């Protein structure tokens, strides 16, 4: 029961993390233009690069945790993992 609840929460987290990655990509594009125009420093630009990397890391971590929980649930219920993965 706890795993099922965690899976639901992870699905929401993944959705939010995906949006965060998208927003960070947009911010990075804006930062590239600002860097080219000289309105921000390279250090400030690299903060946007770092923000995108952090957002992607959170997304992939949540996805990995979701698959780990699904696998645990499959083992508990005795399901065929190949069917779940498909």
Pick from 57, 36, 58, 56: nearest CA to 45 = 36
Quick: pLDDT tens for 34-49: 999 999 999 999 999 9
pTM for the whole thing? Answer: 0.81
Position 82 pLDDT exceeds 80: no
């Amino acid at each position: 029961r706890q795993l099922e609840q965690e899976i639901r929460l992870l699905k929401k987290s993944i959705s939010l993390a995906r949006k965060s990655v998208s927003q960070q990509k947009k911010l990075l594009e804006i930062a590239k233009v600002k860097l080219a125009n000289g309105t921000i420093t390279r250090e400030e630009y690299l903060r946007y690069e770092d923000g995108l990397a952090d957002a992607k890391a959170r997304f992939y971590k949540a996805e990995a945790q979701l698959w780990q929980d699904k696998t645990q649930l499959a083992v508990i219920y005795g399901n065929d993992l190949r069917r779940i993965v498909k």
